[in-house]
Structure 1
Amino acid sequence: MLRAADEAIATARAAAGLGSVSIGYMPGLVVTAATRELRRRHPDATVRTVYLGWRRPAEALLDHHVDAVVTRLLFPADRLQVTPLYDEPRVVVVPRDHRLAGRPFVVLEDIADEPLPQVSGLDSVCRAFWHLEPRPDGRPAPAGPIMNSLDDTWEFVASGDTLAVATPDHVQTTRSDLTLIPLLGVAPSRVVLATRADDNGRLVAEFRQCAIEHLTPRT
């Protein structure tokens, strides 16, 4: 019923000639350059940004909560159009007094016995990507503490309760008790723009072009 109501609202807006688009984005990603350009091109349009936190990007799109999402793979992409934007290297976040701190890089074998944080409700495909699963020996990553936000993660890491696999853009913190170590031998994280496959709206298409042209790694 909620989805039907959202679709009815979108249809009514389109019929009334109101130009609007909602852009979702995930933790550690910044969409300002693309949304600013879209507003410049269409000053009469309503461009809304929505921080989705840990909400599943496909769910947010198919429920018509947003019209586009700047997010990271991996996630189920049925009924979605996915446009690659750029890659990010993956890193391991450790406390500065950790045995691995100071190394120029680490590989999976270096952290095979280290716990990794749990995110309640995270899609299983996404969870496997960030937990580096399946592993060569078939073991899952040791379970670390449950986190509700990125700030929780950094506190757990600094306290020595867990390590974290992330990207440099995930770690938006000035904490001096954490350090990032490049993780070699694993695929990078890919940042993409996802939209509904059947959405042919002009503003969505324009935002896709803005994202391709203006969204780049911040590191």
Structure 2
Amino acid sequence: MRSFVAVAETLHFGRAAEQLHLAQPALSRQIQALERQLGTALLERDRRSVSLTAAGRQLLEDAVPLLAAAEAARRRVQRAARGVNRLVVGFRTGVLVTDVVRRFTAAQPECAVDVVRLEWDEQEDAIRSGRVDVAFVRRPIDERTIRLTPLYAEPRLVALPADHPLASAPTLTTAELADEQHLRYLQPVRGADGRTLRLRGMEEKLEYVAAGHGIILLPRSATEHFRRPDVVYVPVADAEPDEVLLAYEASRRSKLLLAFVEAALLSPRGADVCTCNK
């Protein structure tokens, strides 16, 4: 399966063989064996090019999370073999996990908990690869092979340069911000040297806001963590609330993991904001 993914992603047997440290004939035999096992062609190849069949495209879509789950299982097995009883918890900017971790460890004192901060573009991979066992995430998120438990939602504010004409407004609407340049997830921005960049961390995004290159909508908790004199936060009355969810790999049935979910659902966090179930 790993061999197939390497070929499918590169569409080149030679480069895939180098990536896998295999001889090209051996790689070709592996792909042929996989095709015989599945009873269908996965790749269309001639002397000049390689392309995916419809079956190949479907397998690639399924194979990536499947391999990630296998890697995650390997990590958990090795950790168990070392006698380590540990849960790794990921969290996004602005999400406070201390109360949940304390409640969980009080009920499960034999389990150690590590916490890892996640950026928006790594939350799914961190869960699927086993780098974290469970994570507090925000949308958007690719839900394939991931189970989501809604926890709470919070209002959004817009980050504006301090000298922006709307910066002194007590509240704004999405219509009033419609003509502004929004710095959104996955949307590339052009740097000072002309290169195309993708903003990852909150600090980077706020630098672009302060410089007047655009605005961003942020959950209230994130605005409380990142205060700076050249950026102003204004509530957006009709903005869609930002939802916080607990996420873990859908096939997991760990008692410790389920106990952590229960501890998170008992958290008073979000009592002063709109809850997801209202």
- Residue aligning to 1:81: 147
Report the TM-score when normalising by structure 1.
0.79
Corresponding residue for residue 99 of structure 2: 33
Q: CA deviation at 1:46?
A: 2.0
Q: Which moved more, 1:90-99 or 1:9-18?
A: 9-18
* CA gap 1:215/1:25 in 2 versus in 1, 3 angstroms: farther
Question: For 1:150-203, what per-residue CA distance to the aligned partner results, in whole angstroms no more than 9, with x for missing partners?
Answer: 112222212222111111212222312322111122321110101111111111
Unaligned runs of 5+ in 2: 3-66, 192-196, 274-278
Aligned pair partner of 1:61 in 112, 127, 132: 127
CA distance in 2, matches of 1:178, 1:5: 42
Q: Which runs of 5+ in 1 are unaligned?
A: 128-141
Q: Which residue of 2 aligns with 1:134?
A: none
Whether 1:92 and 2:158 are equivalent positions in the alignment is: yes
Q: Give 3-state SS (helix, strand or coil) of 1:194's partner.
A: strand
Corresponding residue for residue 152 of structure 1: 204
Residue 243 of structure 2, aligned match among 181, 190, 194? 190
Distance 2:183 2:190 in 1: 4
Say which of 214, 225, 240 aligns to 1:162: 214
Query: 1:17 Cα shift?
Result: 6.0
C-alpha separation in 2, matches of 1:25 and 1:82: 14
1:33 CA displacement? 1.1
Deviations 1:63-100 (A, max 9, x none): 11111110112212122211111111111111222111
Higher helix share: 2
> Does residue 1:203 correspond to 2:269, yes or no?
no
Q: Distance in 2 between matches of 1:103 and 1:109?
A: 14
- Matched-pair contact (CA < 8 Å) for 2:91–2:117: yes
Residues 144 and 42 of structure 1, relative CA distance in 2, 3 Å threshold = same
Equivalent residue letter for 1:87: A
Count, aligned residues? 199
The alpha-carbon distance between structure 1 residues 16 and 157, as it changes in their structure 2 partners (threshold 3 A), is: closer
1:21 is matched by which residue type in structure 2? Answer: L
Cα deviation per residue 1:117-167 (whole Å; 9 max; x = unaligned)?
Answer: 255xx4xxxx7xxxxxxxxxxxxxx96764232112222212222111111
The CA distance in 2 between the partners of 1:18 and 1:155, in whole Å, is 41
| Equivalent of residue 117 in structure 1, options 168, 177, 183 | 183
- Aligned counterpart in structure 1 of residue 227 of structure 2, from 174, 185, 197: 174
Per-residue deviation, 1:13: 4.1
Question: Percent of aligned pairs with the same residue?
Answer: 27
Which structure has the highest strand share of the two?
Answer: 1
